[in-house]
Structure 1
Amino acid sequence: MKEKQYFSNPDFWKSLDEIIREKDIFIDRPKGSRHPRFKEFIYPFDYGYIKNTRSSDGEELDVWIGTSKQKQVTGILNITDMDKQDTELKILYACTRKEMEEIYKINNELMMSAVLLIR
C-alpha cells in the first residue's frame, strides 16, 4: 500500500500570522451573541473578521477567536455553503484543539460542510 503524503509549508502559517499582526481583528459577533439571521444559534466564541482583507465572497476574511495564550493562527476551515452556493476560508486564531473541534462541528451542520486544517 502506498503511503499518503501530506505537504506543509511553514511560510504559509507565518504569512497568515503576519496578516493578523498587520491588520486589526474586528469582533462583530462576541461570544454569547445570537446570529443575526438564525436567532437560535449562539456564538460559543468570539467571531469577526480581519479588517482590510478579502475573502472569496468579496468580504473580509472571517476569523474565529479562541482562548489559547498562543496568539497565532492555529487552523483554517474551508467551508462549502450550499445555501449560499459558495466556498470560503475561515481563520482560527488562538484556538485550542477542543475549540477547533467545536468550531469544525458547528460548520458541518445544516447546509454547510467544512474541512479543518490544523497548524
Structure 2
Amino acid sequence: MQDLLNNGYFWQKIDSLALSTNIVISQEKGSRHPQYHNMVYPVDYGYLGDTESIKVFKGSVKRSTIDAVMIVADILKRDLEVKLIWGCNEEEELAILRFINQTDYQKGILVRRGNTMPEWAITD
C-alpha cells in the first residue's frame, strides 16, 4: 500500500495537463479577493485553459513540474476543490496555506509531490 501513496504516474499526468495548457492569471500576487477584501493573494492565482475548473497558485520559481496540490473544503460554497501549486518555494507554500486557512469557512491541506516512483511502475 505504501507504494500507492505517492504514485509517480499521478504527478506525470498533472505535469502533462499543466504544461499542455496556458495558465490564465485572474488574481495577481498582492491583489485582494473580489468578494472577501481582507484576503490578499500571496502569489499569482488563476486557472488552466479555457475553463476555470482547474485552479492554480503560481509562485516565483521557474519550474516545469507541479510542486504540490492543495485540497480545499469550502463550507460556504459547499464543495471540495483541488488546486495546483506550481513553482512555489517553501515560503510561498506556507503563505498559500495561511491564505486558504485564514477563515472558519474554508480549510485546506497541502499534498507535496513525492520524489520516488514505486518499483512496480518502472518500465523499460
Q: Same fold (TM over 0.5)?
A: yes
Among 51, 66, 72, the residue aligned to 2:59: 66
1:26-84: per-residue Cα shift (whole Å, max 9, x none)?
0011112121111222212100000145xxxxx42110001113332000000000111
Aligned equivalents of 1:109 and 1:102: distance in 2?
10
Q: How does 1:28-107 map to 2 (within 5 A)?
A: 28-52=26-50, 59-107=52-100
- TM normalised by structure 1 equals 0.85
C-alpha displacement of 1:20? 1.1
Aligned equivalents of 2:79 and 2:36: distance in 1?
19
Aligned equivalents of 1:10 and 1:52: distance in 2?
27
Aligned equivalents of 1:76 and 1:46: distance in 2?
15
1:116 aligns to what? 110
2:119 aligns to what? none
What amino acid sits opposite 1:42 in the alignment? V
Aligned equivalents of 1:5 and 1:18: distance in 2?
24
Q: Tell me if the contact between 2:39 and 2:99 (Cα under 8 Å) persists in the aligned partners.
A: no
Higher helix share: 2
Which range moved further: 93-102 or 20-29? 93-102
Aligned length: 111
Higher relative contact order (CA 8 A, sep 6+): 2
Structure possessing the higher radius of gyration over alpha carbons: 2
Percentage of pairs with the same residue = 32
- TM normalised by structure 2 equals 0.81
